[in-house]
Structure 1
Amino acid sequence: MTHDVFNQVPPLTGHDVSADAALTAGVEREGAGWAIGELRALGTLAGSERAIEWGRLANEHPPVLRTHDAGGHRIDEVEFHPSWHELMAAAVGEGLHAAPWASAAPGAHVARAAKFYLWSQVEAGHGCPVSMTYASVAALRHAPALAAAWEPLLTSRSYDFGLRPPLGKRGVLAGMAMTEKQGGSDVRAGTTRAEPLADGGYALTGHKWFNSAPMCDVFLVLAQAPGGLTCFLLPRVLPDGTRNAMRLMRLKDKLGNRSNASAEVEYDGALAWPVGEEGRGVRTILEMVNMTRLDCVIGSAAGMRHGAVRAVHHAGHRSAFGRRLADQPLMRNVLADLVLESEAATTLMTRLAGATDRAVAGNPAEAALRRTALAVAKYWVCKRAPAHAAEAMECLGGNGYVEDSQMPRLLRESPLNGIWEGSGNVAALDVLRVTLKEPGAIEAYFAEVELASGADGHLDAAIVRLRALLGSRPDETSARRVAEDMALVLQGSLLVRHAPPAVADAFCASRLAGEGGRAFGTLPSRLDLEGIVGRAVI
């Protein structure tokens, strides 16, 4: 022994991840209070040493592609570490993948969003097939006959991994393939061909540059049919047990999200069935995208909460220069700012999930708000996640740069939700298009934010400025500014109405009145920083 180990931070395990005041309040407010017990059970599992180890191992041992067997036969199998299957079994068993579509309970989408938020803090990569399965149901309902056959399997809580005829399995998972080499976000530039067959199916031939979660049982795919770009349902295994002509060419070597497989694929006459009308593929698959965009927001909010909690935990146990880090004024400012950003994201996320429930139930005002607010949140919350992760990592010093801390994995994951389902420019342009061109969209947005009118002068002034900005008919070069301002005003309104005064005052002063700086840790010292930090103490 050359030294004693002291002034090191105890592991953050054995806690309830759902001990999150902003999340709990949002879930109850948005009509899913009945799920609090389920959230506590899942939160306890998420904070357990066992689940944390699943997340570590799934990333230490990423998936491996096996294109052929020993005899040279094409098999296109993706192998995963057992920990991946543990994560997936828990997620599916809790209904994170599609439970709301099979539930009549009020707030079902809110409950599912909260669970996805909790479980994503264990490990983010396996959220990809979970999210796409959830979103696929919305698109599949454009083809009632297909939905009747597939929806019971997509919503099943049985995780049944393996390549077998899907309609004979206990449950299935769905993926998506839109992007091609030459197109990227411009999916209309796709060249994959779809040739009609006599039995009503189509033969697809072409390639996809990104096939998310290629080990899934079925995929929604865009291809050019005689009538134009069309959405198709393409299974990996055909009803007779033979492999569909979908070839996995290679797995992507990604910055993060390493536990999850993403592949380049080729179709050589692969059998598929149309979802919706020919020529309306983009409109159909956007039903799926608008659900996965919600999960991008949830995933980013989850990452911020995870980073903030770990930074606060570290600072509460580590001492430097004779004082705990958490007691030092500048570190307390940084921690409070991280918690503030996290709570703003979580509160917005739960509001969007509530709007989803009400939109699905046929509420036109909530559907209009969701259409606008989701594009706004997809841009801003996902844009804030990388800077937040980097600052949270820095709070741990050199220890935060070491893999054991989980912070490097958090940082690698943090940019992905900003890229998925439309990168920053795509999301910002969508905000501009919706607010200026879609009837009722901007009215629904202002009806929401003005529910807090008169409660905070900084917020009132920001609403006036935003109305003037939108009234000037901003062009595309201003799209990011519009999206950012709309996000901050919406978050400010939600916090003024629903958060403790310490949180709402700090947000409006720093984000809307310009009293804070550009980096985290620049909140005005007059604020209740200690009270804000306390909301992330586990």
Structure 2
Amino acid sequence: MSKTAFATHEVFNQSPPFEDIDLFACDRPLKEAVAAFGGSEAEKELSEFGRHWGSAAMAARGRVANENTPKLRTFDARGNRRDEVEFHPAYHELMAHSAHAGVHNSTWTADGKPAGGAAEVVRAAKFYMASQVETGHLCPITMTRAAVAALASQPDLLAKTMPVIATRAYDPSFAPWWTKRGMTLGMGMTEKQGGTDVRANMTRAERAADGYRIVGHKWFMSAPMCDAFLVLAQAAEGLTCFFMPRFAPDGSVNAIHFQRLKDKLGNRSNASSEVEFAGAFAMRIGEEGKGIRTIIQMVQLTRQDCAIASAGLMRSGLAHALHHARHRSVFQKHLADQPLMRAVLADLALHVEASTALVMRLCQAFDRTPNDPREAVYMRLLTPAIKYWTCKSAPPFLFEAMECLGGNGYVEEGILARHYRESPVNAIWEGSGNVMCLDVLRALSREAEAAMAVLHGLTEASHGLPGAGETAGVIAQAFRRRDNEHVARLAIEKLALLAAAAALNKVAPRSAELFAATRLANPHAGMYGAVDLAENDTSALLERALP
């Protein structure tokens, strides 16, 4: 890399940009996890995706989309209500590239059935890589994909919308969804007075000749630029799920009035909004009074993506930290050769290996659920546990990765500051940590015997790993307590750790042994790098992380 000369000094001892790389080929733990959980035949497709998303051009699009945040245009020049959201072209380019790769629909067939095979694993690998470049635009991508699961409760509506959802075209035009080449879907669940407690929602739905008219508000309406939204409202029979398009059947702009866009900590390329419904047209999805049961089909999939994105963010943090450490010299050595830095990087690498194996194992369960009841129980029990652990791991992990770059990591020219600001949203969105714990306990209460069978399966899959048997015993004992809610966070963190060790044992047994020794047999220290790994294990972990 050529030096730059200033009047007083030359610029040297700086790491080159980490770009124009293959995000798949340079990530051995990801490649091995995809293969272990059924996606080996997609290696060429994923490598092509990895080269494209690892390019300098895609990195620039991610940066520009975050520097130029969305703007709400409530009215047009003549005073007509429009409620359009404007984006920088870089955002639309990111959306188009994700849509072209099928990140928003490849887990479904053209008629809205699960695609089968390893579709979930392969799509998750793409989502994981895209999140390393720009995470904000993935909000409408994941909701569009997930909405199909809820729309299945209304087959006639699914049949109408699926031909537009199933295309790999991105159409940002402000027009009725049925006239477009492709469409995106958002979600509106929470209200000011209720938040997570959606049963406290006050938005009302009244029957009309052509569907329903909805009056009320949403405190968080995700991705307001979408072509339609799944919203919850109180109908005559109780809380119900509705399909609310941006345009009414007669082609007029629907009465969806956005009040403002949220000014968020991160996720800045993506728009989130507050909204009022002034008699907005909507169509029912599923039965009246069954809104939670209907929309939870969508939420299960968005929770899955929260975990995948968090793992991807951590992978990116590790890769940038390791890349920098291999090029930066301090005290006459490269940072990557300094014993303390090597301990930190190896410990980070071990966490990423386990997180990656775990989310890919979860995606395999989603692939198998339609035909395997045991996998369906694994999916229901582990999705909230994996979201809990993975998403809560990301912010402190990225802080440590940022510190590996020193001051360069803290400034906005680099990507790690953006990753760090981005990371908390996945733990908050689609159910905070306590909600995830309660959902695991709910799954236990409904399917106690089957859930214990899943725990037994994890014990078998982690057999021989340090501390695995003892951890399983602690989890089982905690779940059997009458006051298990008091120890739910501890038990569910241990459940996720055991599941991660089991998943990693299938992918990379030596890494699984190290993970179990430092996370199960002994409590992991509060800081990364406070572990005692042999030098040959440290070298192997770093080489696996980034050849």
Q: CA deviation at 1:498?
A: 2.2
Superposed CA RMSD in Å reads 1.4
Match of 1:498 among 477, 486, 507: 507
- The separation in 2 between residues aligned to 1:475 and 1:494, in whole angstroms, is 26
The TM-score, its normalising length taken from structure 2, stands at 0.95
* Mean CA deviation greater in 434-443 or 366-375: 434-443
CA contact (8 A) 1:163 1:237 kept: no
- The separation in 2 between residues aligned to 1:403 and 1:358, in whole angstroms, is 42
* Mean CA deviation greater in 205-214 or 460-469: 460-469
Identity of aligned residues (%): 51
2:4 is matched with none
SS at match of 2:391: helix
Match of 1:364 among 366, 369, 373: 373
SS at match of 2:371: coil
Match of 2:530 among 522, 527, 530: 522
In structure 2, what residue type is equivalent to 1:179? Answer: T
In structure 2, what residue type is equivalent to 1:23? Answer: L
Q: CA deviation at 1:433?
A: 2.1
Match of 1:327 among 337, 361, 367: 337
In structure 1, what residue type is equivalent to 2:92? Answer: H
1:532 is matched with 541
The TM-score, its normalising length taken from structure 1, stands at 0.97
Shift in alpha-carbon separation, 1:171–1:307, aligned structure 2, 3 A: same
Shift in alpha-carbon separation, 1:431–1:16, aligned structure 2, 3 A: same
* Runs of 4+, deviation exceeding 3 Å: 471-474
CA contact (8 A) 2:474 2:491 kept: no
Q: CA deviation at 1:62?
A: 0.6
Question: After the TM superposition, which residues 464-479 of structure 1 pair with which residues of structure 2 at under 5 Å, given as runs?
Answer: 464-479=473-488
- The separation in 1 between residues aligned to 2:237 and 2:120, in whole angstroms, is 35
**Is residue 2:232 matched to residue 1:222?**
yes
2:495 is matched with 486
**Is residue 2:184 matched to residue 1:173?**
yes
Q: CA deviation at 1:143?
A: 0.2
2:3 is matched with none
Shift in alpha-carbon separation, 1:533–1:45, aligned structure 2, 3 A: same
Question: After the TM superposition, which residues 27-176 of structure 1 pair with which residues of structure 2 at under 5 Å, given as runs?
Answer: 27-102=34-109, 104=115, 106-176=117-187
CA contact (8 A) 1:432 1:483 kept: no
CA contact (8 A) 1:368 1:444 kept: no
- The separation in 2 between residues aligned to 1:469 and 1:29, in whole angstroms, is 31
2:30 is matched with 23
Q: CA deviation at 1:36?
A: 1.2
* Cα displacement string for residues 161-197 of structure 1 (whole angstroms, at most 9, x for unaligned residues): 1221111211110000001000110011111000011
Q: CA deviation at 1:237?
A: 1.1
* Cα displacement string for residues 401-449 of structure 1 (whole angstroms, at most 9, x for unaligned residues): 1111111100000111000000011111111222243244423422431
SS at match of 2:241: strand
**Is residue 2:322 matched to residue 1:316?**
no
1:385 is matched with 394
- The separation in 1 between residues aligned to 2:433 and 2:472, in whole angstroms, is 23
In structure 2, what residue type is equivalent to 1:177? Answer: G
Specify every segment of 5 or more residues in structure 1 that has no aligned partner in the other structure, as ranges.
none
Specify every segment of 5 or more residues in structure 2 that has no aligned partner in the other structure, as ranges.
1-6
- The separation in 2 between residues aligned to 1:177 and 1:454, in whole angstroms, is 44
SS at match of 1:102: coil
SS at match of 2:216: strand
CA contact (8 A) 1:369 1:444 kept: no
SS at match of 1:110: helix
- The separation in 1 between residues aligned to 2:182 and 2:71, in whole angstroms, is 23
In structure 2, what residue type is equivalent to 1:190? Answer: N
Q: CA deviation at 1:287?
A: 0.4
Number of residues paired by the alignment? Answer: 535
Shift in alpha-carbon separation, 1:515–1:76, aligned structure 2, 3 A: closer
- The separation in 1 between residues aligned to 2:289 and 2:95, in whole angstroms, is 35
CA contact (8 A) 2:466 2:520 kept: no
Match of 1:407 among 400, 416, 419: 416
CA contact (8 A) 1:506 1:523 kept: no
In structure 2, what residue type is equivalent to 1:323? Answer: K
1:445 is matched with 454
In structure 1, what residue type is equivalent to 2:36? Answer: R
Question: After the TM superposition, which residues 240-251 of structure 1 pair with which residues of structure 2 at under 5 Å, given as runs?
Answer: 240-251=250-261
* Cα displacement string for residues 47-67 of structure 1 (whole angstroms, at most 9, x for unaligned residues): 101000000000010100000
* Mean CA deviation greater in 369-378 or 454-463: 454-463
